[in-house]
Homo-oligomer: A and B are copies of this chain.
Amino acid sequence: MNLEIINIGDELLIGQVVNTNASYIALQLNKIGINVSKITTIGDKGKDIETALDLALQNADSVLITGGLGPTKDDITKSVLAHYFNTTLMEDSKTLEKVRNYFLQRGLPLTETNRRQALLPQNANIIDNKYGTAAAMCFEKNGKLVFSLPGVPFEMKEIMPEVLKILQEHYRLSFIEHKTLLVSGIGESFLSDIIESWEDALADFIHLAYLPSAGLIRLRLSAYGDDKDLITKELNKQIDKLLPVIKDYFIGFEQNNISQAIAERLMKLNLTLSTAESCTGGNIAHLLTLNAGISSIFKGSVVAYSNEVKQQVLGVKADILQRFGAVSEQTAIAMAKGIISLLRTDYAIATTGIAGPSGGTAEKPVGTIWICVCDSNNHILTANPFFPTNRENFIERASNEAMRLLLKLMENNGH
């Protein structure tokens, strides 16, 4: 079963908004065995919407549209779809009540513009939007379902479970199972080389995808078919074969990133963590705190962007900063020891480096970083990778590498 996604919005074509909806929707659909065959992004133009919908209905079994459902003039999806499916817009009293309440709760009046949100196509199945005023819709044409969802990401996310339910009921889906292995510390091509013979011997119904991001690779194995038991058995067999080959780089199953791996492991063991961040600027703390429930084990962080803070809050000695510099192994160690004794945690991570674009020297160019991780028993690991890239990518890679080093220390400790 193939589905095409159509994302509507001038903001996507002029590049001021990143299309995070497409990946979120594709991930959800994949999990229930729906293959996304194409994603098309177009502007808020009636003709483009109709052409894209024509094409998608020719090639796919179902279509999911996002965007263009707001109350402002540039949003035309609803009226274009009403025309496409030969119906008219009518004010829906139940929806009007909902829209009125939405603004009432926020102490705001119901304007004429917002009242338009209650105008809905007569032949569409309406899906409730808990977080916003734009109702989602489901049309049917020749047995194919066409969904229209709001483009605001968190509104769309709330509506997706209902969309998945409708899709599962309407289509007979073949079984699909995924296993994702998070791998770190090896480049894509080297990983490909060491698993080549294993990959070549995979059965036809198993597909392997490399999903690299800054310093990480997710290996995704997907098995399709009708015999659930056969698929699961073969998938597990292949994973058992793969694990010994990648054991030096394997971090965990079904984890999107290292912060999730750390969060899950520490929460299970009830061990606490703190970070002292210079060049990563709070990003490690940010990544860790995206994990729900982490407040039980993550005590906090000191972002020490200036030497003053390194000295006064983390207790890094002026002598160390002077002799070795702020970006040095000695400073990284002093920062890690400083934060672990300040916040009294079981583990700590410290980073100091030069994110650029300025601030580099011949001896310590932009991209230089020192990382130190330590535990409350004074075990220490340091690393000095080099990420000569742009500022944003440097921060991302440095954060991942620092968290990877923590996992290494935890493994050394049997955690």
| A residues whose Cβ falls under 8 Å from a Cβ of B | 10-20, 22-30, 35-43, 48, 70-74, 108, 111, 113-114, 131, 152-154, 157, 180, 187-190, 192-193, 199, 208-213, 218, 220, 222, 256, 275, 277, 281-286, 288-290, 292-295, 298-306, 308-309, 312-313, 342-344, 355-359, 389-393, 395
CB-CB under 8 A from A356, the residues of chain B are 292
Partner of A190, one of B17, B23, B108: B108
State which of B39, B189, B281, B343 has its C-beta within 8 Å of the C-beta of A72. Answer: B189
Indicate if the CB atoms of B41 and A22 lie closer than 8 Å: yes
A281-B288, A299-B306, A302-B313 known; A26+B14 contact, CB < 8 A: yes
Besides A113-B189, A289-B303, A290-B395, 4 new A-B residue pairs in contact (Cβ under 8 A), listed by A number: A12-B23, A18-B18, A18-B20, A37-B43
Contacting pair B220 A16 (CB below 8 A): yes
Is B14 in contact with A18, judged by CB distance below 8 angstroms?
A: no
Q: Are A300 and B292 in contact (CB under 8 A)?
A: no
Say whether A189 contacts B15, CB under 8 Å.
no
| CA A98 to CA B407, docked complex, whole Å | 34
Q: Flag if B302 contacts A306 (CB, 8 Å).
A: no
What is the count of identical protomers in the complex? 2
Contact partner, A293, options B10, B14, B154, B358, Cβ 8 Å: B358
Q: Which residues of B contact A11 (CB under 8 A)?
A: 209-211
Which of A14, A152, A189, A295 has most B Cβ within 10 Å? A14
Q: Is the CB of B303 within 8 A of A300?
A: yes
Residues of chain B within 8 A (CB-CB) of A358 are 292-293
From B193, B285, B392, contact of A113 by CB (8 A): B193
Chain B residues near A188 (CB, 8 Å)?
70-72
Closest B residue to A391 by CB, please name it. B292
A304 touches B300 (CB 8 A): yes
Which residues does chain B contribute within 8 Å of A212, judged by CB atoms?
152
Identify which of A286, A308, A343 gathers the most chain B CB atoms within 10 Å of its CB: A286
Which residues of the other chain, B, contact A28 by a CB distance below 8 angstroms? 15
